[in-house]
Amino acid sequence: GESVGLHLPTLSVQEGDNSIINCAYSNSASDYFIWYKQESGKGPQFIIDIRSNMDKRQGQRVTVLLNKTVKHLSLQIAATQPGDSAVYFCAENAYSSASKIIFGSGTRLSIRP
């Protein structure tokens, strides 16, 4: 199947601090990127997306940064809250594979009170 093995790195953040989750994508031809949040027992939830003609996009408490030169994507969450605890996946569109998008391996975000 098309997926990266799931050895989840964990990011532990103090409640109220900002979180930065990083992702390296694989295909320089990818032009659309999505961040998903998956809570335990639920499906991935769309957070924010960005197209390759942009390098930054902001949503409510979240910002996505795209660096096409080094094929790097990051998700910044401002003032992290307990409800932000989840696994976060980046995804890129996939022109050369059967799947519409390719998911990264995910990062587990843990919030310290």
Partner 1 sequence: KAGVTQTPRYLIKTRGQQVTLSCSPISGHRSVSWYQQTPGQGLQFLFEYFSETQRNKGNFPGRFSGRQFSNSRSEMNVSTLELGDSALYLCASSLTLATNEKLFFGSGTQLSVL
Which CB sits closer to partner 1, 77 or 94? 94
Instruction: Return the residue of 79, 99, 110, 112 that touches partner 1, per CB under 8 A.
Output: 99
Is 89 near partner 1 (CB under 8 A)?
yes
CA-to-CA dists, residue 3 to 26, 27, 67, 88, 97, angstroms? 12, 14, 22, 15, 11
105 CB neighbour count, 10 Å cutoff: 16
State how far the Cα of 22 lies from the Cα of 34, in Å rounded to an integer.
13
**Percentages (nearest 5) of helix, strand, coil residues in the chain:** 5, 50, 45
The span of 19-27, 37-45, 61-69, 73-81 binding partner 1 (CB under 8 A) equals: 37-45
| Site membership for partner 1, residue 2 (CB under 8 A) | yes
Report the interface residues with partner 1, using CB under 8 A. 1-6, 31-32, 34, 36, 41-46, 49, 51, 89, 91, 93-95, 97-101, 103, 105-106
